[in-house]
Every structure is written in structure tokens, then in C-alpha cells.
Structure 1
Amino acid sequence: MQNAIDAIFEELGTVKQISPVYKTKSWGFEGADFLNCAVSADTRLDYQTLLTTCLSIEKKLGRARSNKEGYSDRPIDIDILFFGADIINESNLTIPHPHLQDRNFVIYPLNDIASSFEHPILKKSISVLQAESPDKSIPHKIQRCLRNPQQELNLNNYNYIAIEGNIGAGKTTLATMISEDFNAKLILERFKDNPFLPKFYEDQSRYAFPLEMSFLADRYQQLLDDIGQFDLFKDFMIADYDSQKSLIFAKVTLSEDEYSLYKKLHSIMYREIAKPDLYIYLYQNTERLLENIKKRGRAYEQDISESYLIDINQGYLNMIKNRRQENIKILDISEIDFVDNRVDYLKLLKQVIT
């Protein structure tokens, strides 16, 4: 059962809750006692991929399915009870599980982690379904607990993480994923509202200074608002940019005199702004960056040159060299896909905490 939970975490998604383990008599045949628990997890998989992955985990853990009718002993059995509030009726999958309300070895552990959840068809909470269960057997709660592997990825030692990277590196995606999995307050740069950005990509020399000044003001105001607001339920914050980003891009785009003025203003404005206690830089090679930019399809980004991306990357590396006293981690993601490959995503998280 622990191996199954570990595999669910590694292949399906974040494990949120695990019920106690219950022991009951075998169901539908004469055999050894059953051990059961219920698990709540967040997944980015669709329900068919979820089913395929669950069957794969069962197979890896030694379950061999047969065409024999009826129930029999098996080392592991992973059932999908609910998929949010979705109702699914397909030839190979029915959700909610059609018999969960009739079996106490399902209802009891489920009630421990989701008592108020409403069955989308029966329109009754799990606690009511347990009270109305036709099953007269009483599952025996055993003392041994199952470990949640999520707890080994402890990011709560940090109050404020900033993720940076070149254009198209994936910083917003990674910040969003971490905020969802660790209940963090998410701070995303509001670049879409900047009217100078499309103009800048058309005529950099003309619009560089107003663009960087508008970013300077916007980033300052946003960080002032977001960092200054204490969230009782989310005291861990993660952002997809840092105040130093303004200096890096300004250094590349502005003339020497403009940059000198810009740097003075930046120093005055950000003097009192809290700094992240962990700074992450996502490095991707230029070829991958250009692929990502093309894939996400923002019209005003399609003419970004390779040389511009190289200059931005060098600007970040120079900044990192000058901040050696701070907690900075450079993560090379050129050869991984943390968005569609959870194994890669977990590898990144482990690099962050080590």
C-alpha cells in the first residue's frame, strides 16, 4: 500500500490526504482479510490517462489480471472513486464508482478524508452515505499509518521564492504548479497589460525607455501590494519574477545614459521591498527558448532574435555572479519537460530543497 501511494505521488500528482488503514473480511469470496485506505490527490491527467496509469501501477506492484469472473485475492487494487464532481460513463470506466456507497471498507476510510464531499449523482455527503450504508460489517481501524511522500518535499522552509528565467523558459508555469501543489500565494507579473510591449518588439530603440520605466513602476507597485498583504492561509509566496529583472532587461535595451538614470530610480524604489529568501534561475538553451516562444504563439514575440535572448541570459548570469551571498539556485531545464513529465517536475523540486 505504501508503494502504491509512492507511485501515485510520482506518476499521478500531489497526494493531499491519506486515510487510516482499515481491515475487513474479504468481499465476495473466502480469502484473506482486506486492507483498505482512501487517498485524495490532485492530478493534471485526464481521467482516461489516470485510469491507464493506475492499471500500470497495479501491474508494477505484482497484480496480474485474469478473465475469471468474480473476486479473488490480489496484492493491490486501485479504484477511482471520484474525479472531482464529474460523471463519467464509458465502456472501461464508470465514475463515481457505482458500488462505493454499498461497501463500508470504502465508505469508512473515505469518510475520514472527505466527509462533506457530495456524491454528484446521489446528492448526499459521504458522512450521510456512511450512516445509511446497507453494509452491516464494521471495518477495523489499525494503528499503522501510511506516509505521505509529499511531506518529503518541504518547501515551507521558505517564505518567499522568486523564479526567474529568460523569455519562454517556463518560469510562470513552474511558479503556478508549485503554488497549486504547496498552497502558496502566487505572484505573477502583469506583463499582458503593458501597452508598450508590442511596440517595443516593433521598434526597440524608440520604445525601450518608456517600456522599462512602465515595467519598473508596475513591478514595484505589484510587489508592494502583494508582499505587503499578509495572507493568513498562505504565508508562503512564490513569484515568477524578481525586482532585479528590471535591471537585467534595462541593461540590454537602454543606452548607457538611460541605464544610469534607470538604475538610480530602481535603487530608490526597491530599497524597502522584501527580497526572496530563495532565488531560482531556470536556464534553457536558446534553441529551446525559441521553440517555446513559437509554441505559445504571442504575435509580438515571434520576431525576437536569438542574439537578444543570448544577451538576456548573459545579463542574468552576470547578476547571479554579483549576488553570491544570497540563496540562488540555477536549474538547467534544457533537456527536461517538467510540464508534461511529472518525474522531471519532481526532480526539479528535489533540486530546489537540496
Structure 2
Amino acid sequence: MKIQRIIYVSMGTNQGDKLDNLQKTIDLIANEVGAILKIAPVYKTPSWGFDGDDFYNTCIQISTYQAPEKLLNSLLAIEKKIGRVRNDQPEYQNRIIDLDLLLFDDEIIFSKTLTVPHPKMLSRKFVLVPLNDIAPTLLHPIEKMKIEHCLQHCEDPLQIERIAEELVRPIPLSEKYNYIAIEGNIGAGKTSLAKMMSDEFNAKVVLERFADNPFLPKFYEDKERYAFPLEMSFLADRYQQLSDDLAQFDLFKNFIVSDYYIFKSLIFAQVTLSKDEYLLYRKMFDLMYKEITKPDLYVYLYQNTDRLLENIQKRGREYEQNIEKEYLKSIQDGYSNFIKTEQDLTILTIDVSELDFVDNKSDYTEIIRQISSH
């Protein structure tokens, strides 16, 4: 399990739409660094150390799993995205955004590229005042004084003024949702996405145990003969796994991501079973479905069938190599009908046909953005 760190970052801007600069930066930090826990009020302050336009300054508290050096690189990359161009001039300058890492838990860091706590934070009111708003009792790791006492001892003569406008805190996934189910056709990437989300958000992950099903290889060799035992065994296993695994977690305290939802059993059964077999299967399914915990969000990953076939070939499971395009299309149609008619679930469809979220960080970030903003 990754270690969660609490950090504090000072933010400042004195160019363009200053409030918008701060908000866009906060949104990027939420997407690329970690959950925003607190945002201080915004303060208007005179330029410090040079003759320039007034700044808007604030501080934010962040929960992150990034190590210090990785975190520094992330903050610098966000500055660049907002439009800051750094140069080698030593004097202070106007800037569209300025991010300073103030505190990283209670650690003291001295390296070639990073010093924490920030060496000048105690001499600047535009840092200490907003920091005091969100963390007055936090101890400075070197001075061993609370931030509120550090502010009282600050001799910075500059006057700062709180503005009325407020910034909006992005709600992190772990607060917005307790249970997300990732779904999609064979080869859509649902397991990969579930694992990546589990790793990033330290979520509990529930993965389908398809590899242990003895009927699966036989089904691809003789669909008519093995369809019913395959679908019944999948249904029983999915029901047991979801019932057992979800029961172990407190859905009000844990963030859970699964790479399937039990309704996929019905979608596949509609395609593979005869009419009489399906009617019997449906009776069993309806009894089980009533007892299953419903996800807060059902995410369906749409992939076109050509990409599905490419992914299936790439992952190299021998028993999947003869899957036909028409079979995938029929499964796709089953999911489409389910999404159109289902009224008891909150459903988000994401077209990933042109995305490579496994190897392309920006594609993965875009998926998380869509889930977060849904």
C-alpha cells in the first residue's frame, strides 16, 4: 500500500485573469498530484521584492502519494501548462502562476533541487496568512512552532487584503464515490483501468476470476455445448465474489473499484444461450441480482471491434484467439441495450477507441477527468 502524504503548496499570480489562473491550477493539481483537501481564502498582496502588479495568493492542502522529487516535477509541469516561462534571471518578476512547496508532512529535505520547509515561508505574510487559515496548529518542522505563532512573529510589513471571491475545491473520487464498477467488452481494458485506479487512489480492487473457469476454453471450442454451464458458473462465481468481497469493506469508508458488474452475466447469456436456457438462467439471475450491492457509478468503456480484436491478440490468451468479430459485435449490442434501458444505475460511457490509457498518461488523465466531472 502506498504512503499517503499531506503537503501544503503556496500559490500566487499577478497576470491575466488571476482568479481563473488559480482555479485552473487547482484543477490541474487535483488531476495530476492528489486530492485537494483544503483551500485557503484568496488574498490580494503587493508584489514582493520587485515593482509589479498586485498578486492574488492562497495556500492549499493536498493529499498525495508522490515522492518529493516527483512532486516537484509535477508542480513545475503544471506551471508550464498554465503558461509560466521560467528563465535564469535572479530577480523577482511578474508571473502567471507561481507554485511553492511549503511543507511535505513533517519532513526536512535538503537536496540540490528542493528545500523543505520552504526557506522563506516564515518571512512572508502572503504565505503565512492563508496557510494559517487552513492549518493554524500545524507545527513547523524546524522551528517547532505552530503556524499561528509563526505568523505572530512574522515581521513582513506588507499589507494583504482578503478578497470576496472564493475558489472551488475539486471533489476527489474517493469522496464522490464509494464503489465504481468498470465494464466493457472483451479486450476493452476494464481490468487495466481498474488496476490503475486502484493504484493511484489506494482503492480496494475487485477483479473477475475468469482465469479459474474450466468451461471458458471449452466454450470457445464448442459454444453450443458449453454455453449454459459456462454462463451458470460465471454467474455463481460473480455473485459469490461480489457478495463476499464487498461485504468485507465498509462502503462508507473504503473506495472500491471492480472490473465487472454482475449484470454482464445477463448480457453474455442473451448472446450465448438458447431461448429455453436463457429463460431458466434469467430466473436464477433475478434472484441473485436483488442481493448485490449496486455501484455508485457504472463506467462503460466503449472500444470499436477492430481495436478489441487487436487488444485480444496482443494479450495472447490462447483460447481467445479465435473470437469472431460478429460475436464481439453482439456483445457490444447487448451492452448498448442495457445502457439505454437501465434506470437504477448512474452510467458513464467513455469511448476509448482512440485512447491508449495504459501507456499514455494524458489519455489516462482524461478518463479520470471524465469520471471526476460526471
TM norm. shorter chain > 0.5: yes
CA distance in 2, matches of 1:168, 1:323: 23
- Do the aligned residues in 2 keep the contact of 1:15 with 1:41 (CA within 8 Å)? yes
AA at the equivalent of 1:169: A
Distance 1:204 1:87 in 2: 64
Q: Is the 8 A contact 2:123 2:155 kept in 1?
A: no
Deviation for aligned residue 1:19: 1.5
Residue number in structure 2 paired with 1:12 = 32
Deviation of 1:77 after TM superposition, in Å, equals 1.5
1:324 deviation in Å? 6.9
2:366: which partner in 1?
344
Quote how far apart the aligned CAs of 1:165 are. Answer: 1.1
Query: What is aligned with 2:114?
Result: 94
Question: Counterparts of 1:230-269 in structure 2 under 5 Å?
Answer: 231-233=251-253, 239-254=258-273, 258-269=277-288
2:131 is equivalent to residue 110 of structure 1: yes
- Report the secondary structure of 1:282's partner residue: strand
Q: Which runs of 5+ in 1 are unaligned?
A: none
Counterpart-to-counterpart distance in 2, 1:315 and 1:29? 65
Q: Name the SS of the counterpart of 2:100 in structure 1.
A: coil
Query: Are 2:239 and 1:215 aligned?
Result: no
1:146 aligns with 2:170: no
- The answer as to whether partners of 1:100 and 1:106 remain within 8 angstroms in 2 is no
Whole-Å Cα distance in 2 between the matches of residues 115 and 214 of structure 1? 57
How far apart in 2 are the matches of 1:54 and 1:161? 28
Report what 1:55 is aligned to: 79
Among all aligned residue pairs of Structure 1 and Structure 2, give the percentage whose two residues are the same amino acid: 39
Matching residue's letter, 2:42:
V
SS in 2 for 1:246: helix
1:246 Cα deviation after fit:
1.0
Equivalent pair of 1:199/1:207 in contact (CA under 8 Å):
no
Runs of 5+ unmatched residues, structure 2: 1-17
Cα distance in 2 for residues equivalent to 1:300 and 1:123: 60
**1:245: Cα distance to partner?**
0.7
Instruction: Give, in whole Å, the separation in 2 of the partners of 1:238 and 1:257.
Output: 35
What are the Cα deviations for residues 261-296 of structure 1, in whole angstroms up to 9, with x where unaligned? 43322122223445557644321112333444566x
User: Which residue is 1:77 aligned to?
Assistant: 98
SS at match of 1:79: strand
Structure 1 Cα separation of the partners of residues 212 and 139 of structure 2: 43
Find the aligned partners of 2:260 and 2:370 in 1 and give their Cα distance: 18
TM-score w.r.t. the length of structure 2 is: 0.66
Q: Does 1:166 align with 2:185?
A: yes
**TM-score, normalisation: structure 1:** 0.69
RMSD across aligned positions (CA) = 4.8
Measure, in 1, the Cα distance between the counterparts of 2:94 and 2:81.
17
Distance 1:192 1:169 in 2: 15
Whether 2:350 is the aligned partner of 1:331: answer: yes
The 1:289/1:90 distance shift into structure 2, 3 A limit, reads farther
Return the match for 1:37 from 22, 40, 58: 58
Residues 1:256 and 1:6: Cα distance change in structure 2 (over 3 Å):
same
Cα distance change, pair 303–273 in 1 and its aligned pair in 2 (3 A):
same
Partner of 2:331: 312
Report the counterpart of residue 196 of structure 1 in structure 2. Answer: 214
Aligned equivalent of 2:290:
271
| Whole-angstrom distance in 1 between the partners of 2:233 and 2:300 | 24
User: Could you tell me how far apart the structure 2 residues matched to 1:152 and 1:68 are?
Assistant: 38
CA distance in 2, matches of 1:276, 1:256: 29
Counterpart Cα distance in 2 of 1:196 and 1:131: 67
> 1-side partners of 2:106 and 2:354: how far apart?
37
Once the two structures are superposed, residues 57-111 of structure 1 have per-residue CA deviations (whole angstroms, 9 ceiling, x without a partner) of 35x2xx55444323244343222445678887776x3153641553443344335
2:321 pairs, out of 303, 311, 332, with 303
Q: Is the alpha carbon distance of 1:50 and 1:169 closer, same or farther for their aligned partners in structure 2, counting shifts above 3 Å?
A: same
